[in-house]
Amino acid sequence: MTEPKIKIWKFLKITVSSLLITALALFTAAAIRTLSLDVNVGLQLARWEKSNNISLVIDHHQREELLARFKEAVRIPTVSFSDTESNTTALRQFDTFLRKGTVTRFHPHI
């Protein structure tokens, strides 16, 4: 081999080796960071799961509405009779109840 070809091969070997080592180092750093950090830090996504009590401070009107909605929900019959047979009328009734009793945040046809 001639002198210029040897220099090109050495340069390519050094470049490829450097890129592989850099990629390995970045992958290792990303893996360590992913495995060692708490995902919910700063986001507080699961804060409610850690709470021991839920505030039930509601006024008389809200309590009456809550009880009325609960009574209505309890009146809906059992939906399934077996693994294959379901009461579709009760499912529709429960769907109507949920749509009426919950706040709509998104377009209902999405």
Q: In angstroms, rounded to a whole number, what is the distance separating the alpha carbons of residues 18 and 58? A: 65
Instruction: Please indicate, yes or no, whether the overall pTM of this predicted structure exceeds 0.85.
Output: no
Give the containing element (helix H, strand E) for 25: helix 3-36
Predicted confidence pLDDT, tens digits, the chain (110 residues) = 678 888 899 999 999 999 999 999 999 998 888 777 665 565 555 555 566 655 667 788 888 887 888 888 778 776 677 777 777 888 888 888 877 766 555 445 54
pLDDT in tens, 8-34: 999 999 999 999 999 999 999 988 887
What's the DSSP call for residue 76? S
Quick check: 97 and 72 in contact, CB under 8 A? yes
